Structure 1
Amino acid sequence: MRFAGGEVAVGSYEEAGVSIDAGNRAAALMRAAVESTHGPGVVPLPGGFAGLYRLSGYREPVLASTVDGVGTKVLVADELGRYTSLGADIVNHCANDVLATGARPLIFLDYVASGRLIPEVVAGIVSGAAEACRELGVALVGGETAEMPDLYGSALDVVGACLGVCERGELVTGELVRAGDAVLGLASSGLHTNGYTLARRVLADAGVGYGDTWRGLGRTVGEEYLEPHRAYVRQIEALRREVEVRGMAHVTGGGLVENLPRALGGLGARLRAGSWEEPPVFAMIRELGGIPEDEMRRVFNLGVGFCVVVGAAEAGRALKILHGTGCKAWHIGEVVENGGTVEFA
């Protein structure tokens, strides 16, 4: 159909750039994976406009919620054509944020937006999220898939929201932290989901490709960059059953320097540089980019993905429990009275 002036009229939503059929196909491809995360707490509501969850067994429940995205890590996945790990990234990132409050993650919702919806790509991301949810005992109760060519162009965005719950008395606020307490660091799996704008720029400027290798990595740079964000839910649950945990921090953007003080109730920390194992990917980035150590510490986790604060006398037992869960962990420093800052010795 043409107007008198010769301009082509847009006759459908698909011709304008959005495919309803592709969205429906994506939903069909991911349905089984999503439903596989549903336990007895999920209230069935076919065709509902929101996910429902039955909350029971709590005397004074407190809800904890968070929302975050995987950022420019999606550009690495796009370059390599491998997207499934992004689902685990966003589930584990959000679950760790909820965990740091003292709550247990219960439900998760995803948001995948793109300029052009490819059902298999979206289904792969959501299937990866569902697998991560099953491992953590979290219900994937809903989500949104959006196709917006005018906004995203060829880009992809992956976002998630998580809701958890605990008794009011189980909250970990940092109020119990005292000078002299031990700071324990739990091993990260690598970059997790932070610092990718710098990490990608370093490779580009140095002429290093995702298919290249680097000493110590044991795999390609691309495989290292796509390593999923590690979750700590099972490990912290095991620890809290045996030891009083006074503070917790998820080490994301800002590194130990900015995230650890948030868990210390106004106190600070003195950390022993070199007291934990740093994955070789950080040495690669440091060397290729000529990045100063202060900047590395402000951008990356440098091998510590989560911190817990326990009484000094409990440090050894706490480490034994964490090691028993299969988690590498180290006594990396102590709490000190230095006004909410982190020092490195």
Structure 2
Amino acid sequence: MRTYLESGVNVELGNQLVKKIKPIAKSTFRDEVIGGIGSFAALFDFTALCKKYKNPALVSSTDGVGTKLLIAEEMGKHDTIGIDLVAMCVNDILAQGAEPLFFLDYFSAGSLNEEIVLSVINGIGIGCKEAKMALIGGETAEMPSMYRKDVYDLAGFAVGVVDKDKILPQNITVGDAIIGVHSSGIHSNGFSLVRNIIKNCGISYSDLSPWHEKSWGKILLEPTKIYVNSLLPIMSQIKGIAHITGGGLIDNIPRILPNHLAAEIDSWQWPEIFTWLSKEGKVAKEEMLKTFNCGIGMVLVIAQDNIADVCDSLIKSGETVSTIGKIIEKPTDNAKSVIFT
């Protein structure tokens, strides 16, 4: 008689992994979590939120980390990619003005490697702690023939909450300031282009980069910054937040602007990795700005009167910030929504 194990699915290993994942998840739990890992579905006490929020609205986001995974797999470095997964979801939730609540992950592979799985999940736990959200559940799937050996894929799902009257964006007007909160690097977008440039330049991920005593692999795997601790305390002073992900500044800033307004953006100092990619990869400036964050992980729209307070708070939270522009009236209906000066 044939067995599931003979088909390449090790159910017992999957069960053992769940037991080892439980303490990672439990370390992230908030008071509102009901039960623990292992039930058919995860439970969260919404009644507790109703005591804190007058008219709570749930905010959800799902994302992955794209082909950045391929670099992690080639480097055999899996300890930070889980942080990226959390960051990509939670920063989208922040863009609506919401507080993160809980997170679920999906890990799929051709065959489960205990060391890799636990390294990735531990990274997810680190990200959840930083974001003050609970890793409340997930799925680990073993699918023979779907993936090559030691190749895996990730997806994340996050839920947050915000009072309906505080959902961002709101009340953005001409003259508002645009603040750029700096990124930690490339974050998790544009890696198909990055990998292509690295390959064409004949660079190995183990080679040292030109600027740091770090390998290219470690530079590229720098995890996506999580902005929860720096942005939540100043949400009341923010009119709009654009998370600069796929589409770069060109496509993401317009998502928070009324149709009649545009963002006039001044120049800022690009980190070395982006100037290198543009030069060595022969990538035009507009293509860079539509593919990468170019050093700006979050764009905030605030009233001019709040610039000093907001920037002071962000700097005290450990962020690097720049005032990079202002909101203007569109000269014509068909004018661009983002204008670089």
Would you say 1:133 and 2:128 are equivalent positions? Answer: yes
The counterpart of 1:209, out of the listed 196, 204, 213, is 204
Asked whether 1:101 is paired with 2:96, we answer: yes
Aligned AA (2:6): E
Structure 1 vs Structure 2 CA RMSD: 1.5
Report the counterpart of residue 107 of structure 2 in structure 1.
112
The residue type paired with residue 125 of structure 2 is: A
Q: Where in structure 2 are the equivalents of 1:16-31 lying within 5 Å? A: 16-31=7-22
Match of 1:307 among 276, 299, 302: 299
Contact 1:191 1:301 in 2 (8 A): yes
What is the rounded CA distance, in whole Å, between the counterparts of 1:79 and 1:19 in structure 2?
A: 24
Q: Which runs of 5+ in 1 are unaligned?
A: 2-10
- Partner secondary structure for residue 152 of structure 1: coil
Give, as a single letter, the amino acid of the residue that structure 1 aligns with 2:39: G
Q: Mark the CA change 1:125 to 1:98 in structure 2 (over 3 Å): closer, same or farther.
A: same
Q: Structure 1 residues 150-159 or 323-332, which shifts more?
A: 150-159
In the alignment, does 2:48 pair up with 1:54?
Answer: no
Is 1:191 matched up with 2:186?
yes
Q: Show the counterpart of 1:121.
A: 116
Q: Deviations over 1:146-195 (max 9, x none)?
A: 1112222343111100000011112112x300111100000100010100
One-letter amino acid of the counterpart of residue 40, structure 2: F
Of the structure 1 ranges 47-56 and 187-196, higher mean CA displacement relative to structure 2 is found in 47-56
Shift of 1:317: 2.2
Aligned 8 A contact 2:22 2:37 in 1 = no
Alpha-carbon distance in 1 for matches of 2:37, 2:135: 15
- 1:88 deviation in Å? 0.5
Structure 1: distance between partners of 2:281 and 2:37: 52
Equivalent-residue separation in structure 2 for 1:124 and 1:321 (angstroms): 33
Counterpart residue number, 1:287:
279
Q: Residues 340, 232 of structure 1: CA spacing in aligned structure 2 closer, same or farther, 3 A cutoff? A: farther
- Distance of 2:338 and 2:210 partners within structure 1: 31
- Out of 147, 150, 162, the position equivalent to 1:166 is 162
CA–CA distance in structure 2, aligned partners of residues 80 and 29 of structure 1? 24
CA offsets, 1:224-256, max 9 Å, x none?
A: 111000011111112225xx2111110000001
Unpaired stretches in structure 2, ≥5 consecutive residues:
none
Q: What is aligned with 2:27?
A: 36
Identity of aligned residues (%): 36
Runs of 4+ that moved beyond 6 A = none
Pair 1:324-2:316 in alignment: yes
Q: Distance in 1 between matches of 2:180 and 2:213?
A: 24
Name the SS of the counterpart of 1:84 in structure 2.
coil
Bigger shift: 101-110 or 126-135? 126-135
The answer to whether the 8 Å contact 1:42/1:53 transfers is yes
Question: Shift of residue 25 of structure 1?
Answer: 2.4
Counterpart code for 2:284: P
Q: How does 1:263-282 map to 2 (within 5 A)?
A: 263-266=256-259, 267-274=261-268, 277-282=269-274
Q: CA deviation at 1:46?
A: 6.6
User: Separation in 2 of the partners of 1:47 and 1:122?
Assistant: 17
Q: In 2, distance between residues paired with 1:102 and 1:327? A: 18
- Aligned to 2:80, what secondary structure does the other structure show? helix
CA displacement at 1:134 relative to structure 2: 1.3
Q: Secondary structure at the match of 1:151?
A: coil
Give the alignment of 1:224-263 within 5 angstroms: 224-240=219-235, 244-263=237-256
Give the corresponding residue for 1:220: 215
Change (3 A) 1:21 1:308: same
Once residues 159 and 146 of structure 1 are traced to their aligned partners in structure 2, the CA distance between those partners, rounded to angstroms, is 12
Q: Deviations over 1:84-115 (max 9, x none)?
A: 10111111111100010011110000011111
Report the TM-score, using the length of structure 1 for normalisation. Answer: 0.92
Distance between the aligned counterparts of 1:26 and 1:289, measured in 2?
A: 42
Q: Distance in 2 between matches of 1:184 and 1:68?
A: 25
TM (norm. structure 2) is: 0.93
Q: Which range moves more in the overlay, 155-164 or 213-222?
A: 213-222
Displacement of 1:332 in angstroms is: 0.4
